[in-house]
Chain A
Amino acid sequence: MIGDRRSLRGCTTCTRVVHLIVIGAIVGGVLLPIIPLVAWSVSHSWFFPEILPSELSGRAWAYIGSPLSKVLSALTNSLLIAGLVTAAAVLLGIPAGRALGLQRFRGKAIFEFLILAPIIVPGLAVIMGIHVLFIKLRLVDTLFGVALVHLLPSLPYMIMVMSGVFANYNVEIEQQAFSLGAGKIRTFVHVTLPAILPGIVTGSLFVFLISWSQYILTVLIGGGRVITLPVLLFAFAAAGDNAVTAALCIVFLAPAVLILVFTSRYLSGESGAMGGFGKL
C-alpha cells in the first residue's frame, strides 16, 4: 500500500520538479548558514567587503583541540547531562503519556495544563526558588542538579508526544498478547514498546536538544562549575573571538545533526507506527 502511494506521488514530472525545488530549499536553508561558520572558523581575519577570508589560520581548531580549552570536558558534560535528562524523561514520559492519552479522569484538563505550564512560564520565573532549594539539598554546582533542572523545560515535550502516541494506541492489542500467553513484562517488551518506539525517539530528540542547548539554567544551577558547550560558546561569543566561536558552533551542531540523521527513519510519517499503530 505504501509502495503504491509512493509511485502515485511521483507520477508526473511537474510534481517531481516541485519536489526538487522544495527539497532544495529545505536543504539549502539548513546548510547555507553553516558555510560562513566553516569559513569563520578557519579565518585569521575577515572584514566587511571581502567575500572570502583574506588570511586562513588553523588557530581556532588548534585551540579547540588542545586540553587547555576544556572543550572535551564540556562536550562530555553536555552529553552526560543531555543523556541523563533524556533517560529520565523517557522513564517519566511513558507512564504519564499513557495516563493522559488513554484514561479519562476527573481534573484531567488541569493536569494537562500543569504539565504544559513549564513551557508557558519561563524557567527564570521559578529558577531562583529552585536555586535556594537546591542549595539546601546540596544539588547546586553538580551535574545531577543541572540535569534535574533541565527536565523542567524538556519533560513537557516528552509527555506531549507520548500522550499523542497513546491517544492513537489500541490497548486491546495488549489484551490480545495476554490472551496469547504473554505476561505483563513480555507484553510490554514485545508489543507495547515496538508500538510506541517512534514516539519515544521523537520525544527523546526534543528532550536531548532542549537540554543540549540550555544555557541560563545550566549557568544558574551549575554555578560556573558545571561547564557545558553552550556555556563555553557564550563565553567566547561575549569575548568577540569569532573564529573560536564559529569552530565551537560546529562542534555544538555536530551531535544534533548526527542524531537527526540516525533517527530520521522514525520521524517520517511513513514509519506508520508514529501514532501507536492502533488505527492505521
Chain B
Amino acid sequence: MSSVMLQRLSHNYSGSPLPAVDSIDFSIQKGELVSLLGPSGCGKTTTLKLIAGLLKPTSGEIYFDDSKVTNVKPEHREAVMVFQNYLLFPFMSIEENVGFGLRMRRLNKREIAGRVRQMLDLMGLEDLKDRKPSQLSGGQQQRAALARALVLQPKVLLLDEPLSNLDAHLRDEMRELILSIQRSLGVTTIFVTHDQEEAVLLADRIALMFDGKIQQIGKSKLFYEKPASRRIASFFGNNNFLTGFKERGWVTSNVGKFRIQSEAADGPVTLVIRPESILLGDQGINSFTAPVKRQIYMGTHNRYRIEVDGADWEVIAPADSHVSLEGGRVPFSLPPEKIWVMPEQRN
C-alpha cells in the first residue's frame, strides 16, 4: 500500500471547453479509505481513471509514496481499478477471472493457484469458482471483481461506485465486506460515489467534488456541521438557509436578530442550521415564529416544514412534539452554538 498525492491535477477531454478535472490537490495517507463524493458528471470517475493511469492528465502530477507515477503505464502502476459494472471477463470462469492479473504478471502456476484460492476463500466465492460471471448474482459479481483486484495486493485500490448496482440489503452487506477487508488488508482505497450516505458510512475522509474541483475535504461530520457553501449543505440534505448581516456576535436578518458564535468576518453572511438543531418553542434566545406548513409523523421523530423568510425549512423534533397547523405561527429557537455562519457567496 502507498500514500497517494495529487498535485494540481487537471484533465480536459478533447473537444470539451471545460476541464473535467480542474487543478486538484489532494493527499491520501497510507491505508486510508477515502471517498470522492459528488453528483454525476463532477469529474470523480475521471479523477479515478487518472490515478489508475487509464487517462493521461493534461497537467499536474500524481505521486505514490515519494515516486512520481504520472507517466507510468496503467499495467505497471499497481493501482487497480474496479469498475462500476464489474467488467468480469465473460468467457472466463470466476477462478480464471481472479487469476487474470497474476497470470499477466507471469507468476508460476502454483503461486497463482494458491493466492487465488486464498482470495476466493476470503470473499466467500470458493463454491462459485467454476461458474461463468453470467451465472452469478450482482453481489457475487461485485465480490469476484473485488477479489480479482485485491489478489494483486495493489498499492492503491480504486473503486468506482462499488455499491450503486446493488439492491438495498446487498448494499449494506457489501459495505461491511469492503470495510472489513479494507481494514484487515490495510490497502489504501479511494472510492467514488454520488451517495453522501454511502460516503459517510464508509469513508475515513470525504473529498467533495463539484464541477471538476474539490470543494471541501474532511471527516463526514464537517460536511454536516460546517459546510463550506450552500451547495455543499444542500448536497448533504440541509436547505435551512437564512441570509443576513453579521456584526460581531449578532446577525440581523429579515426574520429577526440572532445571537451567534462565529469566527466569520463581519459583513453579509448566510446562516445554516441543521433540521435537528432547531428547537420547538420559545427558549428565550434566538426565538422567532413561523407558520407550519406540514407535520409528518416519522415514528421516531416528527418532521415539520416551516416557512422562514419566504423559503421552506425543515425541522426535526421529538416524536411526542405537537403543534397546531391551524393558521397560527409557532415559535422556534436556534441555539447560537448550532448556527453555522458562512460568508455570503456571489452565487
Contacts and interface: CB of A to CB of B under 8 A. Distances in A.
* A and B are interacting partners: yes
Interface of A: 1, 170, 172-173, 175-183, 186, 190-191, 194-195, 272-273, 277, 280
B87 A176 contact: yes
Contact of A280 (B74, B100, B134): B134
Nearest to B158: A179
B90 A277 contact: yes
Contacts of B81: 175-176, 179
Interface string B122-162: 00000000000011000000000000110010000010000
The size class of the interface chain B forms with chain A is 20 to 34
A191 B89 contact: yes
24 contacts: A1-B135, A172-B85, A175-B49, A175-B52, A175-B74, A176-B87, A177-B104, A179-B52, A179-B54, A179-B74, A179-B80, A180-B80, A180-B100, A180-B101, A180-B104, A181-B104, A181-B105, A181-B152, A182-B100, A190-B104, A194-B91, A277-B90, A280-B90, A280-B134
B75 A178 contact: yes
Contacts of B75: 178-183
Contacts of A273: 90-91
Query: In terms of DSSP, what is the predominant structure of the interface of chain A?
Result: helix
Interface in B29-62: 49, 52-54
Nearest to A194: B91
B235 interface: no
B165 to A, nearest CB: 14
A182 B104 CA distance: 5
A122 to B, nearest CB: 40
B83 A180 contact: no
A178 B100 CA distance: 11
Contact of B87 (A1, A172, A186, A280): A172
A272 B148 CA distance: 23
B104 A186 contact: yes
Contacts of B101: 180-182
Candidate in A172, A181, A186, A190 with the most chain B CB atoms within 10 angstroms: A181
Contacts of B49: 175
Contacts of A172: 83, 85, 87
A248 to B, nearest CB: 41
Contacts of A176: 81, 83, 87
Contacts of A182: 75, 100-101, 104
B79 to A, nearest CB: 8
Contacts of B149: 180
Contacts of A179: 52-54, 74-75, 79-81, 158
A179 B73 CA distance: 9
Nearest to B100: A180
Interface in B56-111: 73-76, 79-81, 83, 85, 87, 89-91, 100-101, 104-105
A177 B81 CA distance: 10
A34 B52 CA distance: 60
Candidate in B74, B101, B148, B152 with the most chain A CB atoms within 10 angstroms: B74
A178 B54 contact: yes
Nearest to A173: B87
A128 to B, nearest CB: 43
A36 to B, nearest CB: 44
Given A180-B149, A272-B134, 15 more contacts: A175-B54, A176-B81, A177-B104, A178-B53, A178-B75, A179-B52, A180-B80, A180-B100, A180-B148, A182-B101, A183-B73, A194-B89, A194-B91, A272-B90, A273-B90
Nearest to A180: B101
Nearest to A104: B15
Contacts of A173: 87, 89
B334 to A, nearest CB: 49
Given A179-B74, A180-B149, A273-B90, A1 B134 contact: yes
A176 B53 CA distance: 11
Contacts of A178: 53-54, 73-75
10 smallest A-B Cβ distances: which pairs?
A: A180-B101, A178-B74, A181-B104, A176-B87, A182-B104, A179-B81, A175-B54, A181-B75, A194-B91, A181-B101
A173 to B, nearest CB: 5
Contacts of A190: 89, 100, 104
A172 B87 CA distance: 8
Contacts of B76: 181
Contacts of B105: 181
A272 B90 CA distance: 10
Contacts of B80: 179-180
B80 to A, nearest CB: 5
Contacts of B87: 170, 172-173, 176
A182 B92 CA distance: 15
Candidate in B49, B104, B158 with the most chain A CB atoms within 10 angstroms: B104
B158 to A, nearest CB: 8
